[in-house]
Amino acid sequence: MLHLPRRPRRNRRTAAIREMTQETTLSLSNLIFPMFVLEGSNVKSEVKSMPGIYRFSLDTLLEEIREVTDLGIQAICLFPNYPEEKKDKRGTESYREGTLYLNALNEIKNKFPDLTLMTDIAMDPYSSDGHDGYVENGEIVNDISVEILGKMALAQAKAGADILGPSDMMDGRVGYVRGLLDAEGYTNVSIMSYTAKYASAFYGPFRDALDSAPRFGDKKTYQMSPANAREALVEAQLDFDEGADFLMVKPAIPYLDIIKLLHDNFDIPVAAYNVSGEYAMIKAAAQNGWIEGERAMLESLMSIRRAGAKAILTYFAKEFALAQNG
């Protein structure tokens, strides 16, 4: 027999011991469920590249929210799908009184006052150019974009949002939005900044869901290069100094090192977006029988938590809730 003073397997011997010594926990309270709203009534349209994820008209969306809150989901992030005829260069539909998205936020908050309601702040769902900022002569113009995003943010706060999610990656937008919110008395509305949002290949299914792909070029002049890590510290310091309440990394699994980097360097919560492409890959592999879907889901979400994310936006939230309840 080997004489070993330390045998790590002793702490793995039974399920009870493994649970006792588990370092990282994952619960529904860590998850935010992204959801999609579109115009019409009695609509529930599956996103083909995201099995199990749907676009809802407001009436069916409210029914779905009732179901997911009954499962224990405490937070959602809502994204709008607008028809092309509602889009223009300045994304004016994003802050127009009576528009679909603002009405949906208001209805959700009235019917589910205890639900944490997060929004998206970017021009691409409303822009005829399909970019996250204002386009002039083929260039995304930062400061004009920030002014438009500010109007959008204030309108969403008035509609009842709890957390605003600037996903645009324009310089200075967190401080500008924080200033507007505070000046108008919305000091309790939080900002979850998309701090390190990478120019990633994993966003394709999401753009299918919103019909919001860029009409020209790409988003590399404002989203970060996948090669860069230290740049995330620069972005995070700026967002922290400008008043962000959360720092988000997007995507999640290819950027676990960035999640940990921000977690280790900033004393505010770090969030991560487990994006559409990450979801679609697991779903496709599971449907082909190549992996065990539920185990892969749990392992991937746990890895994001282990890296340091307190909040995870994930399309697996409902599936996780069903697994926990089942």
Q: Would you please indicate which residues are annotated as catalytic (active-site) residues?
A: 197, 250
Residues 260-298 as b or e (16 or more Cβ within 10 Å = b): bbbbeebeebbbbbbbbbbbbbbbeebeeeebebeebbb
| CA separation for the pair 91, 89 (Å, rounded) | 6
What count of residues does the chain have? 326
Residue 197 bridge partners (DSSP): 250
| CA separation for the pair 191, 174 (Å, rounded) | 8
**Of 64, 43, 173, which is closest to residue 108 (Cα–Cα)?**
64
Tokens 């701090």 correspond to what residue? 195
Q: Is 235 annotated as a binding residue?
A: yes
| CA separation for the pair 69, 235 (Å, rounded) | 34
Residues whose CB is less than 8 angstroms from the CB of residue 33 and which lie 6 or more positions away in sequence, other chains included = 68, 73, 75, 76, 77, 313, 314, 315, 317, 318
Known binding positions for Mg(2+): 235
Which residues are annotated as part of the binding site?
Answer: 235
